[in-house]
Amino acid sequence: MGLADLHIHSIYSHDGTASIPAILKYTSEKTDLDVIAITDHDTLNGVKQAMDLAPKYGLQVIPGCEISTAQGHLLGLFMNNRIPAGLSLIETLLRIGEQGGLAIAAHPEARGTSSLSFEDIRSALDHPFARQILVGVEAFNGGLIYTRSNTPAVVNSAHLPVARTGNSDAHILSMIGKGATYFPGTGIDDLRIALKSHQTHVASFGNLGASQVITGYVPQFLLRLLGWTIWNNDPSEPLKYARIHSLSTLSRNRAGDLYQQMTS
């Protein structure tokens, strides 16, 4: 069986705290994950760097994005072109499908964040084309502050024709892999087949919760606001803090190439 975490945020999200190389270093050394997806909010700016570096760290990376649809957050996977935020769920699904991608409903009906309702999900599954794209639901999201929001996701997804997935929704390194998805095989192609045939299994290894937000996330986020992120220069070197002057503008898609900036 392979293990995947299909929902990870980097500093290319406005609320992420870890650089792409740090995510790869941490994942390869501290988790059993075979596959990860980088799913920053409404941007794919970190994806190319992640895919370029992944082989050095012995990992496989799926290009993805957490898209803010008009009805709530949706994970687009196997996609390389950005889709604007604010479109309807159906329109967003069709655009993901046009580029050969698949989608997973992120943290459905979770409190405190923009989430799809199960009514929205069911109506998409009734749509003749959208249903071929919306192949999965997060039955476990490790990044919720209100951890009880996972309960309706488990109950309501049990009766739907979808793959049930677990993901971390990590915004800090230590959360990566806390939610994960088992699938037959070990590679990205195996995972794609498993998602389409609903042969995935949910794994939960921990929650963020309110206390972790205070002790884990808030300090990292404050450092980010000051321009510091966790960095890794090479798989053989340790994680360290690096100052990046353009951090505050990264998520606005106009900061230039962070990767080049740090390696030049």
Report in angstroms the alpha-carbon separations of 232 from 11, 19, 45, 53, 199.
Answer: 14, 8, 18, 11, 35
Q: Which is nearer to Zn ion, 26 or 190 (CB)?
A: 26
Task: Please select the residue that binds Zn ion; options are 11, 23, 106, 258, rule is CB under 5 A.
Answer: 106
Q: Which is nearer to Zn ion, 37 or 106 (CB)?
A: 106
Task: Please select the residue that binds Zn ion; options are 10, 25, 57, 73, rule is CB under 5 A.
Answer: 73
Contact status: 25 vs Zn ion (CB under 5 A): no
Q: Which is nearer to Zn ion, 66 or 190 (CB)?
A: 66
Q: Look up tokens 């950005």; give the residue.
A: 82
126 close to 91: Cβ distance less than 8 angstroms: no
CA 208 to CA 206: how far, in whole Å?
7
Q: Which is nearer to Zn ion, 73 or 224 (CB)?
A: 73
Q: Which is nearer to Zn ion, 167 or 200 (CB)?
A: 167
Backbone angles phi, psi at 206, to 5 degrees: 155, 160
Backbone angles phi, psi at 202, to 5 degrees: -80, 135
Give me the least distance between CB of 100 and Zn ion, in Å please: 22
Backbone angles phi, psi at 110, to 5 degrees: -80, 140
Segment contacting Zn ion by CB under 5 A, of 56-64, 70-78, 116-124, 251-259: 70-78
CA 149 to CA 231: how far, in whole Å?
32
195 close to 187: Cβ distance less than 8 angstroms: no
Contact status: 120 vs Zn ion (CB under 5 A): no
Q: Which is nearer to Zn ion, 73 or 178 (CB)?
A: 73
Contact status: 169 vs Zn ion (CB under 5 A): yes
Cα Rg, the chain, nearest whole Å: 17
Task: Please select the residue that binds Zn ion; options are 34, 42, 66, 120, rule is CB under 5 A.
Answer: 66
**Is the C-alpha dihedral spanning 264, 171, 251, 124 positive or negative?**
positive
Segment contacting Zn ion by CB under 5 A, of 16-24, 89-97, 103-111, 203-211: 103-111
Give me the least distance between CB of 61 and Zn ion, in Å please: 16
Contact status: 109 vs Zn ion (CB under 5 A): no
Residue nearest Zn ion (C-beta atom): 73
Q: Which is nearer to Zn ion, 71 or 190 (CB)?
A: 71
Tell me the pairing of strands 179-183 and 2-8: antiparallel
Give me the least distance between CB of 16 and Zn ion, in Å please: 9
Residues forming the site for Zn ion (CB under 5 A): 66, 73, 106, 169
